[in-house]
Structure 1
Amino acid sequence: MGITSFDSISRYSLRREARADVLKVYYHRAAGSLLSRSKKFTFARAKANVPVEFQKTEEWHKLEDTSPVLRQALVELHQLLKPVAADDAGTQDTKQQLLADLEHMERVMKAKLAELRQQIEALK
């Protein structure tokens, strides 16, 4: 997947979009860092045809299954992110992460508002 800085991974999320699974890996980054805060990986869901046994027909149903590469990546990410400290430290880390995300969102919103104001001024 191209991840080389395993020690800077902070968390990950997994969601399903249409016929694919999307894994997003988040990193700890210093303020002002030019490196990305996250990477997104898309895994297509494998399709398999299976016979319908409970009906008296010759039909086949298409089932979608999670990619084996994604399953292995999740196992490895889970092992990398095993909590080593007590629950209080985990709660504190979560709180710090939420505060950092909130500050990041505020910066993004301020920049977007400034950009929109500039565009409005250019129209006058």
Structure 2
Amino acid sequence: MTDYSTLKEMGISSFELISRFSLRREHDRDVLKVYYLRPLTSLRPHSQKFTFARPRQAIPGQSRHSQAWKDLLDCSPVLQQALQELRQLTGSDCDNQPLAAKDALLRDLSHLEKVVAAKLAEIREQVERLGPQASA
């Protein structure tokens, strides 16, 4: 049994509510997203995002787009430990198993549509609460 000290340091405390996690790379950062099992009516977030900077290595600029450059970049030791603890908690590896590029894009698009629809509904509700006003 582990005490999940790395996850605690990251501010995660509801270990029993973690359902899955994903990891992606954005430029020179690793982005870990942890998803929770929460009721739809919960005011607590359904996910948390953590960003880890990748270390920079001093190599010539023309080599920075090569495979050797990608191999030099190791992820943060804190991220490695967090991933190990998350694997223990969920019993699985990252949620982002190799997906076809098209499937991944469609999933991202669907998620974005849901987020935009929810934000639009929220703004409309705020406008309705303001009541009728004379426009200028």
Q: TM-score range by the shorter chain?
A: 0.5 to 0.7
State the Cα deviation string for residues 69-108 of structure 1 (Å, max 9, x = none). 111111110110016xxxxxxxxxxxxxxxxx8xx65645
For 2:32, the equivalent position in structure 1 comes to: 23
Aligned residue identity for 1:20: R
C-alpha change, 1:25 and 1:122, in structure 2 (3 Å) is farther
For 1:64, the equivalent position in structure 2 comes to: 73
For 2:53, the equivalent position in structure 1 comes to: 44
1:10–1:26 CA contact under 8 A, matched in 2: yes
Residues of 1 paired with 2:133 and 2:37: CA distance? 38
Q: For residue 45 of structure 2, give the secondary structure of its aligned residue in structure 1.
A: coil
* Percent identity (aligned): 48
Q: For residue 65 of structure 1, give the secondary structure of its aligned residue in structure 2.
A: coil
Aligned residue identity for 2:24: R
C-alpha change, 1:43 and 1:122, in structure 2 (3 Å) is farther
1:47–1:65 CA contact under 8 A, matched in 2: no
Please list every run of 5 or more consecutive structure 1 residues that lacks an aligned counterpart in the other structure. 51-60, 84-100
Residues of 2 paired with 1:109 and 1:6: CA distance? 32
Please list every run of 5 or more consecutive structure 2 residues that lacks an aligned counterpart in the other structure. 1-9, 60-68, 93-110
1:76 equivalenced with 2:50 (yes/no): no
Residues of 1 paired with 2:28 and 2:134: CA distance? 42
Aligned residue identity for 2:16: D
Aligned residue identity for 1:68: P
Residues of 2 paired with 1:18 and 1:123: CA distance? 48
Higher fraction of strand? 1
Q: For residue 86 of structure 2, give the secondary structure of its aligned residue in structure 1.
A: helix
Alignment size in residue pairs: 95
Q: For residue 48 of structure 1, give the secondary structure of its aligned residue in structure 2.
A: coil
* TM score, norm. by length of structure 2: 0.53
User: How far did 1:46 drift?
Assistant: 1.6
